[in-house]
Chain A
Amino acid sequence: MAEENNDKDLRERLDSLSAALDAQHKASQEQKADTKSTDEAGRSLGRAINLGFRVLTEFVAAIIVGGLIGWKLDDWCKTSPLFLILFLAAGTAAGFWNVYRIAMPPKGSSGGL
């Protein structure tokens, strides 16, 4: 009688323990999935901001370089504002070209950041 009681106790205890283990496992998995999704969201937000910033800097940098070259050429050749206008236009075109290249990464390189 005593032994049977003991057995029953043991089984009950085992059941409750395994139930607790299951619950914990489930909770930890849920938490993992949760952090994973927030991680993913944070990373994609960072990536999007980064991509936008990259487009902005590449575009503006090309225009600035074009403007500087034109300005300096005008300075040397005393043809103000001929070269400035020409090179600003070329710089703008180069800016668009830069942006196009970001949008259409050449094969082999890992673009699209």
Chain B
Amino acid sequence: MAEQTFDPIHQFHIDRLVDFHPFGFDASFTNAALFMVIVVLAVSGLMILGTGSRSLVPGRLQSAAEMSYEFVASTVHLSAGHEGMKFFPFIFSLFMFVLFSNLIGLIPYTFTVTSQIVVTFALAIGVMLVVILYGLFRHGLHFLKLFVPSGVTIFLVPFLILIELISFLSRPISLSVRLFANMLAGHITLKVMGGFVAALLGAGAYAVIAPLPLLMVIILTAFEFLVAILQAYVFAILACVYLNDAIHPGH
């Protein structure tokens, strides 16, 4: 154990499983892509198998599928209103993808897709693109009222528009960084704590206190489950709040 270098970052390393370079682009199938496929298969499997039997008294799978459906449906309804329900499939896919990536990432020896900022930023930019496109499509240029606060003197308006614009542009960054940083920090903390256990066990008399970091690892694992679910929920609810802006611009 002593000679082996201990590297808590190694778990985020991207390996190319299948090399593929069409037209000079690196489109290799990596372990991140593999786990995205696994996540999508898991979500589809849960929903398809869960809704397959359609019994009146739901079994385990069916009640899991129904619970997730009802949970997301009530979230969307609460934060984006009745009109927001047309975005329910979008929000549901987002929520399930993030939730399953977070949860599957907690299984040892797996890869956490959401610990890559590229993935979370792509999701956040996707949400913002939907907000902007739907807002422009639905309200035309009235959508830009979102940036003009009502009830202020005319002299302050340019300054406030600038601030609103920066605030709007910062949304995808804060949305993606929050999810990415939570997953990254949680996994590194777990790994470092686990490394302490191994290092203490190999340190002669200090092996006596090795159970202390082990206890910490157990507590942190439970906490990570909480964070995984909470972050998926927060991602979904903030996407709803932003979509609500697109549906009702001009606050």
Contact = CB atoms under 8 A, between A and B. Distances in A.
A42 B229 CA distance: 13
A13 B5 CA distance: 67
A57 B166 contact: no
Contact of A61 (B159, B174, B226, B251): B174
Interface string A52-66: 011001101110111
Interface residues of A, number: 31
Contacts of A91: 166, 170
Interface stretch (A3-11, A15-23, A71-79, A104-112): A104-112
Contact of A94 (B81, B166, B182, B226): B166
A40 B244 CA distance: 29
Nearest to A54: B178
B46 interface: no
B173 interface: yes
Nearest to B163: A94
Contacts of B241: 109, 111
Contacts of A42: 226
Contacts of B174: 54, 57-58, 60-62, 98
B234 A94 contact: no
Contact of A62 (B79, B166, B182, B234): B166
Contacts of B181: 53, 57
A53 B170 contact: no
Interface string A74-103: 000000000000010011011101100100
**Dominant secondary structure at the A interface:** helix
By CB atoms of chain B within 10 A, which of A61, A95, A113 has the most? A61
A93 B163 contact: yes
Given A91-B166, A97-B163, A109-B244, A61 B177 contact: yes
By CB atoms of chain B within 10 A, which of A94, A95, A98 has the most? A94
A110 B79 contact: yes
Interface string B211-229: 0000000000001001100
B14 interface: no
Given A69-B166, A113-B234, 8 more contacts: A42-B226, A43-B226, A46-B230, A61-B174, A62-B167, A66-B166, A94-B170, A108-B81
11 contacts: A42-B226, A46-B226, A47-B230, A54-B174, A57-B178, A58-B170, A62-B174, A91-B166, A94-B167, A98-B174, A109-B79
Interface of B: 78-79, 81, 159, 162-164, 166-167, 169-171, 173-174, 177-178, 181-182, 223, 226-227, 230-231, 234, 237, 241, 244, 251
Interface of A: 42-43, 46-47, 50, 53-54, 57-58, 60-62, 64-66, 69, 87, 90-91, 93-95, 97-98, 101, 106, 108-111, 113
